[in-house]
Structure 1
Amino acid sequence: MPSPELISDSTLLAGIALVLALIAIAWRRDLRMAMVRLILVMGAGIAGLLLLDRFGAAIEQETLIVVLREVGLLIVAIGIARITLMFLFEGLLARFGVPHILDDVLTVLTLIVFVLYRMNVAGVNLTSIITTSAIISGVIAFSLQESLGNLWGGIALQLDNTCRIGDWIRVDKVTGKIVGIRWRYVAIATNEDETILLPNSALIKQNVTVLGRRGDLYVPWRRKIEFTVAYDVPPSRVIAVVCDALERAEIRHVARTPEPVVHCLSFDASAIRYVTFFWIEDPAFDEWAESQARIHVYAALARHGMEIPLPKHQVVMTPPRDHAVEREETLATREEMLGRLELLSVLTEGERRAMAAELVDCPYVAGDVIFWQGEVAESLFILARGRVDIYRSAASARPAGARARLATMEAPAHFGEMGLLTGQARTATAVALDEVLCYRLDKKGFDAIVVARPELAEALSKVLATRQAANDATLQSLDAEARARHASNRADEILRRIQSFFGLEP
């Protein structure tokens, strides 16, 4: 029969554990269900002891009474131990990142000590048991060597910080994020929405690669993509174009530093193979980041007319094309686009057609920086498809820090005209907002038109002054009247700069 002192002590300890459980629930609502279950377990043990105290006299076998008493005490002990340790590790010590495996180990050790204590109280000679059961102990230890290896492996992993919860690792063919380290296994969540459980003992024995970490310092993770370009383009030009495109691009989860690099990898049968290295901040987005990098590389190559060739052994049968017809259709489309722009409305039909022949196709993708504020420029961009954001910042550093958006331009539109007409450095930054097609007009394509008809300079200067006044008004919140005065004052200045740039007589 359980003595009144034993029941009183058990109830007192259970009451203390109940208070700790309520405090833990108040701290962390996510522990509510676990604490409620443990309170019920502990209550069941106390209820069992009370029932045994009241009705135990009806049981004739003394051994059965002892067994029932010890089972009730063990249930109470399990509840008290788990509540106390959860209060410590999930409550008081949660912010210190104490390894969860210590919670498991301490739970097991606490219960082992409790069982040994109760056996000693019951009069069991522990010394004789240990002495006479050496063979049995050896058999048990041999059968549990895998479990013990997992236990010590888990302890070693957390105590020496080899792997931490939140680390991304690669083990054999498994790559994922560590979401849990328990006494038997390490749980790894992969990008395929799978959770893989690796035994601690196996993890200790295998080569483990920790991604995005150098010692104790977390760093961006290097990724690479390969592409090919035809032999008729010099490798130095390909490297410069792709490097510049990736440095300009604003891709989420891709680190700004280190900057992307491109290497000439090999000379294949039908093309030169290149490899691009870039760094990502979160391995969870590795496939997405690689896809975006490929998109930007493809767009950069297309903008500069660099072919990604088909394999030489592939035969492509296409109907013959009439290049003269295609060119006429292209010129007609460009000419129609030029006629819709206010800046170029003063041109004659012949001048627009001549200008259309000088345009160069420039496709961009979302996030591509078309030009940076402060860059030297002698070209105008005509927006034929898509949208472009225009920004201005206090400094021309790349990438721009705090910057104000002047406008979002939608096709048809034009921007960068100051570079074409005056040679002035870019006064703003242009960033593609989505899939964009621009026509680029360089100075040499516009030079003959302005020189042949100098009066164009005055008309163009007024359009430029009006647009610049609108941009300044956006930054300075000027009203319409102040904007008009500002435009009038700047028109004469811009006219002089156009005449000087193209060598026209005032």
Structure 2
Amino acid sequence: MTPEVVTDAVLTERHNLYVALGALGLFITMVICHRIIFKGWKGGSDVTKAVRDRLRWLSLPLLILVPLWWAATQLDSLFFLSAELFVTACFVCVILVLESVRTTLSRKFKFSDRVLAALLYVVPTFVFVLSVLQVDVLEGVAGYALGTVLVLFLFLHLVYSYLFKWVPWKHPLSQVLRKRLGPWVYLGIVGVTLYFGMLRYPGLSVGERTLAGLAGALILLGVLVASEALLATIFDFYFPVARKSEIPTLFRDLVRGLVYIGLFLAFVGFVLKRDLDSLLVGSAVITVSIGFALQETLGNFFAGLALRLSRPYALGDFVQVGDITGRVDKIDWRQTSVYTFTGDYMILPNSMLAKEPINNYSSPSTLHARDIRVGLHYRHPPNQVMAIMRAVVAKVESVLPHPAPEFHLLDFADSSINYRIRFWITDYEGRYRIDTQVRVGLWYAFNRNDLEIPFPIRTLIQQPTTEKKDVEEILGFLKTVDFLEALGEEHLEVLARDARFQLFAAGEKVCVQGEPGDCFYIIRSGQVEVTVKDDQGEAILNFEMAVGNYFGEMALLTGEPRSATVSAVSDSELLTVSKEDLRGVIVANPEIEKIISNVLAQRQLRTEQAQQEAEEERAIRGGRSEKESSRSLEQLSEQLLRKIQAFFSY
């Protein structure tokens, strides 16, 4: 090589290096200006801020187009691209003007302080400075060529870091693409740098075939990046985010595998220039051998594919396969994972699922019917029994009102009449809990209404139909009630023989505010909670009552709707006096109702006066004489008497 040729080569490479440095400097300058305008500048009106937010991302192409256009105008080898780059930059400017009216984006621009990492400055910058200063480390042309390659790598790395690390992308699609494409894009950067180095570095004797193969590999890598971007958009964004539906892992892996196999065959055929026919024939022989060895695995694979096409179940469904029942947690190419109700994690091969019947309790509907069977004594009328069952089932919140529960008399067995209760639920996982609530409610309701669940034996000896009541204990409870003291010992004994104890389960409602009632209760054991709500449904009064307290006297005597909701805090046994129990005593002694009404009137007046004093915060209402109090008592007593007479209708 003559000195003149060497000198021309040095001048050419020096010029190329200076152009690359200028383009890089222009790029960094534009990035800094972009940061100052869209990040550092906080002033301006709301419209200016909105326009600035809109143009922040749309102006990014100019950061690359302008340095490339300037470099194309300075290099003869790229001059033919200068016009196209200029037109493209002008087109972007037109878009920026048109989009300046948009005010929808509000993302904040964030530029990391670690713009120049150690990777960029330690080795590349050191070698680059030595090359620029013409230190006698490398021969002149080689030094400038190496510097140009390093500048290219620095530029590509900055672009990669800017797009994949520094910009705080918030859109789900951007995050998905950055996660999926990051390694492939960086591999492409290394490949482009390597290709450019082989092309420009004079110390390497690389043949055209090698360069063509590397170029083909880069093209296939670009196709791979585009394919991966498309697959990530479909599988990781469109369906799970936009459509809110999960794509099975099996299907995603199958599609990606086919894409990778196609690209591999293209690499072998077009880059390595190998005959694909022989490769395919050899692959067929290997495939047959592997197929025999992996019959079970392939069976699971194709069974899983068939299951995904027919979609008998989906993630989160409750299914039953044989004796296994649980929630589907994962579906892949070989197996389906299920969480059972006992907390076990079961792995079911897809080939087994393809052969077994599958019960899906979640699709196409979560509606599920439950059956409970119970047998009761022959002496209980079926209509009465089914009415009690209907009331119990209606109180269980998890039981659906529609479809309505069904009650059937199944058969007349040896010792009982057998009934079936059918109701519908949507919480299949909680089916046993709901069944328990229904059964517990039935037991307490049967106990309160003296409904007997007989033993499955023949009764040969006459047994007493009912147990003797402890009249003395009931009398003791009745004597503690002020308005019942007027009945006298004889009438209290009559009432005690008719009254009965009833058992209520913890959490069960004894009476509900606003509903009609005709029973009076005295707490024998346990504890109840009393709640009074206003018209808006907010609790304005809440307290608990223990053993010896009573409630429900106004409903017993006048039939007024319940003024409060009473619920059992724990299992509670209540002495119950009904309207029918008291009717005989009142009919036989009409004078008793006057005494009772007078006692209730006195108590009600005391309650009203106490409430008035508490609200107005004074001892007694001014201007009220004894005569007025007497008249008020008489009027209230007369009102209560009329209500009692009307309620008992005699």
Could you tell me which of 356, 359, 364 is aligned with 1:206?
Answer: 356
Matched, 1:103 2:249: no
Q: Report deviation, 1:302.
A: 0.9
Alignment-derived partner of residue 27 in structure 2: none
| CA pair 20-232 structure 1, distance change in 2 beyond 3 A | farther
Q: Deviations 1:120-171 (Å, cap 9, x if unpaired)?
A: 3233322221135434333334544544444444445445543121211112
Could you tell me which of 428, 447, 465 is aligned with 2:583?
Answer: 447
- Written as runs of structure 1 = structure 2, the 5 A alignment for 1:163-174 is 163-174=313-324
Alignment-derived partner of residue 456 in structure 1: 595
Distance 1:468 1:441 in 2: 24
Q: Report deviation, 1:40.
A: 9.4
Distance 2:605 2:226 in 1: 79
Distance 1:243 1:132 in 2: 73
Matched, 1:229 2:376: yes
Q: Deviations 1:189-209 (Å, cap 9, x if unpaired)?
A: 111001222223332333211
- Written as runs of structure 1 = structure 2, the 5 A alignment for 1:86-485 is 89-90=235-236, 93-95=239-241, 96=243, 97-101=245-249, 102-120=251-269, 121-158=271-308, 160-213=310-363, 215=364, 218-247=365-394, 249-251=395-397, 253-312=398-457, 327=469, 330-344=470-484, 348-372=488-512, 375-384=515-524, 385-390=526-531, 402=537, 404=539, 406-411=541-546, 412-426=548-562, 429-451=565-587, 452=589, 453-462=592-601, 465=604
SS of equivalent residue, structure 2 residue 348: strand
Q: Report deviation, 1:283.
A: 1.6
Distance 1:490 1:82 in 2: 86
Letter in 2 for 1:207: P
Q: Report deviation, 1:405.
A: 6.4
Task: Please report the TM-score for the alignment, with normalisation by the length of structure 1.
Answer: 0.71
| CA pair 209-140 structure 1, distance change in 2 beyond 3 A | same
Alignment-derived partner of residue 65 in structure 1: none
Q: Deviations 1:92-118 (Å, cap 9, x if unpaired)?
A: 643321313233223323432343233
Distance 2:307 2:473 in 1: 66
Which is further off, 301-310 or 108-117? 108-117
Distance 1:168 1:470 in 2: 61
Distance 2:586 2:435 in 1: 46
Distance 1:42 1:379 in 2: 81
Q: Report deviation, 1:492.
A: 4.6
Q: Report deviation, 1:272.
A: 2.4
Alignment-derived partner of residue 68 in structure 1: none
- Bigger Rg, which one: 2
Q: Structure 1 regions of 5+ residues with no counterpart?
A: 54-73, 395-400
* Aligned residues of 1:464 and 1:491 also touching (Cα < 8 A): no
Letter in 1 for 2:240: A
* Aligned residues of 1:250 and 1:368 also touching (Cα < 8 A): no
Alignment-derived partner of residue 643 in structure 2: 497
Letter in 1 for 2:498: E
SS of equivalent residue, structure 2 residue 498: coil
| CA pair 311-381 structure 1, distance change in 2 beyond 3 A | same
* Aligned residues of 1:465 and 1:494 also touching (Cα < 8 A): no
Distance 2:493 2:381 in 1: 33
| CA pair 79-234 structure 1, distance change in 2 beyond 3 A | farther
Alignment-derived partner of residue 105 in structure 2: none
SS of equivalent residue, structure 2 residue 457: coil
The structure carrying a bigger strand percent of its residues is 1
| CA pair 380-196 structure 1, distance change in 2 beyond 3 A | same
Q: Report deviation, 1:391.
A: 5.1
Distance 1:24 1:154 in 2: 37
Letter in 2 for 1:443: K
Distance 1:20 1:153 in 2: 42
SS of equivalent residue, structure 2 residue 573: strand
Letter in 1 for 2:389: V
Distance 1:463 1:122 in 2: 108
Q: Report deviation, 1:299.
A: 0.9
Between the two proteins, what is the percent identity of the paired residues? 25
Q: Deviations 1:251-310 (Å, cap 9, x if unpaired)?
A: 4x4334334333222333322222222223312212222222211111111111112222
* Aligned residues of 2:532 and 2:563 also touching (Cα < 8 A): no
| CA pair 239-454 structure 1, distance change in 2 beyond 3 A | closer
* Aligned residues of 2:372 and 2:420 also touching (Cα < 8 A): yes
* Aligned residues of 1:99 and 1:158 also touching (Cα < 8 A): no
Letter in 2 for 1:494: L
SS of equivalent residue, structure 2 residue 315: coil
Letter in 2 for 1:117: A
The structure carrying a bigger helix percent of its residues is 2
Letter in 1 for 2:313: C
Q: Report deviation, 1:494.
A: 2.5
Ranked by relative contact order (alpha carbons within 8 Å, sequence separation 6 or more), the top structure is 1
How many residues align? The count is: 456
Q: Structure 2 regions of 5+ residues with no counterpart?
A: 1-148, 198-219
* Aligned residues of 1:387 and 1:436 also touching (Cα < 8 A): yes
Q: Deviations 1:162-186 (Å, cap 9, x if unpaired)?
A: 3121211112211111122222222
Letter in 2 for 1:264: L
* Aligned residues of 2:511 and 2:567 also touching (Cα < 8 A): yes
| CA pair 503-265 structure 1, distance change in 2 beyond 3 A | closer
Q: Deviations 1:418-448 (Å, cap 9, x if unpaired)?
A: 2321233445554444423222212232234
SS of equivalent residue, structure 1 residue 231: coil
Q: Deviations 1:365-389 (Å, cap 9, x if unpaired)?
A: 2343434556554332333333144
Distance 1:124 1:315 in 2: 97
* Aligned residues of 2:336 and 2:349 also touching (Cα < 8 A): yes
* Aligned residues of 2:164 and 2:182 also touching (Cα < 8 A): no
